[in-house]
Amino acid sequence: MPVEADAIVLFGATGDLARRMLLPSLYFLDADGFLPDGFRIVATARGELTREAFLEVVHKILSDRPEGLDEAIWARFSARIAYVGADATTPEGAQALKAGLGEATRPFFFLAVSPSLFEKICVSLAAAGLATPESRIVLEKPIGRDLATSRHINGVLSEVFDESQVFRIDHYLGKETVQNLIALRFANTLFEPLWNSLSIDHVQITVAETEGVGARWPYYDEYGALRDMLQNHMLQLLCLVAMEPPADMEPDSVRNEKVKVLRSLRRFTRVDAAEKSIRGQYTPGVVGGKSVEGYEAERGQKSGTETFVALRADIDNWRWAGVPFFLRTGKRLPEKRTSISIQFKPVPHSIFGQASIHDLSPNRLVIDLQPDEDIKLTLMNKAPGLSSGGMRLQSLPLSLSLLGAYEGKGGRRRIAYERLLLDVINGDATLFVRRDEVEEAWRWVDGVADAWAEANIQPKPYAAGSWGPAGAFALIERFGKAWSD
């Protein structure tokens, strides 16, 4: 049994991720009684800030949230917090952290900082004797920009920490419905016999966002939609849909199965680049009734980076041969929506007379991750009432809404990081990405990027507020399918 951590050292404690996600998640974990007694929060950043000033900032962040702040919980939570204003990449900084940890001996280090600091922080933790076998390290993406750079970062980590101590976050794995996908597949007898190329026609995964890139431009322009979203979140979703049943829920059992899927992804060729993918970049338009500027205007700079990508992925294995997986993601699309749609094959023959086989909609299992978390299974049924000239059929969803199922105070929706932070505290790495997974995902994504470069595939413009370039529709139609909305 892994030991329970007794402290978090939060690097980048005044940054965006800490403010929006990590500090609120720690607070909610405390509110729900999940933080162990005596658990310490050592917040660190380079800024010269007193503990009091930092606590004021955190108090405001929590009070401004829709859930509001409970002063009694705040009293307990704030007592756990130490603030260390230091440069953790220097020996003095690391010593200051050591002092901040006090009696804690099993800390985890959460690097909510620029990846350019990962290496220096690891080296400095090791030099200060803080990287003990009882410690853990948590990293956010991006872990590299391609296979070579991700190998470098992973190599540095492995010199200081054993792989079992490394927790690579993909926050999509902390989302309730993503975990529910595992339950749906492996806690029911209904789907698994149908979960293969005999019954499934194709799979669609859509991650649509209304937000533009804005202040994140310098980072984003280096990465683009392929590296920012597809390499990690979307391939993780694809793996969970496509993996074989793991032997159990042990971290390595699940991760072994995901890696096999990544290894089975068919490498993109130059011809595929044109036929099976499309890149887009948003131009001015209207999103949610508001006029917004185009990607290049946000920074006043020309760019060849894609803010939209759609592609067909093929998994060359026994289960999925011939079943296309269509992936689509973009910024400045009409709505924020993440969904996985599994489309089953049509019935082999229609007995319904003029309701020919084409009128019978194939069954579809739709797993919505956001904005609503629900699972729908569309089924054909008889339209109620009388009709002459044969039975009228209609397609209706069986719906499993997870809204009422939220645990936590007031049925609020948990932040994905709550689950993930709790798992790090308990040492459960099932929902974290192993080194070989990251590297296999990069290997495949590098293949797509290389194919684009060879075939000189440039981003096509699309108006903000639209569903991407027209080519995204042509792409899926080329294979006889349509995006399901």
Rounded-to-integer distance, Cα 4 and Cα 312, Å = 42
Rounded-to-integer distance, Cα 429 and Cα 168, Å = 9
**Based on the number of CB atoms within 10 Å of its own CB, is 133 exposed (0-12), middle (13-18) or buried (19 or more)?**
exposed
By C-beta, is 173 or 311 nearer to ligand BG6?
173
HSE-CB of 261 using CA atoms within 13 angstroms? 23
By C-beta, is 228 or 306 nearer to ligand BG6?
228
Kindly list the residues in this chain that would bind ligand BG6 in the complex (CB under 6 A): 209, 228, 338
Distance in Å, CB of 323 to ligand BG6, minimum: 25
Identify whether the C-beta of residue 26 lies closer than 8 Å to the C-beta of residue 425: no
**Residues contributing to the annotated binding site for NADP(+):** 12-19, 46, 141
Distance in Å, CB of 204 to ligand BG6, minimum: 17
The alpha carbon of 41 is separated from its chain's Cα centroid by a whole number of angstroms, namely 25
By C-beta, is 50 or 114 nearer to ligand BG6?
114
Identify whether the C-beta of residue 340 lies closer than 8 Å to the C-beta of residue 144: no
**Based on the number of CB atoms within 10 Å of its own CB, is 19 exposed (0-12), middle (13-18) or buried (19 or more)?**
middle
**Residues contributing to the annotated binding site:** 12-19, 46, 141, 171, 175, 209, 228, 331, 336
Residues 6+ apart with CB under 8 A from 388: none
Question: What long-range pairs does 90-93 form, CB within 8 A, spacing at least 24?
Answer: 90/124, 91/124, 91/127, 91/128, 93/44, 93/124
Query: Is 152 assigned a catalytic role?
Result: no
Please tell me which residue in 59, 152, 202, 233 is annotated as part of the active site: 233
State residue 108 phi and psi, 5-degree precision: -120, 145
The set of catalytic residues is 233
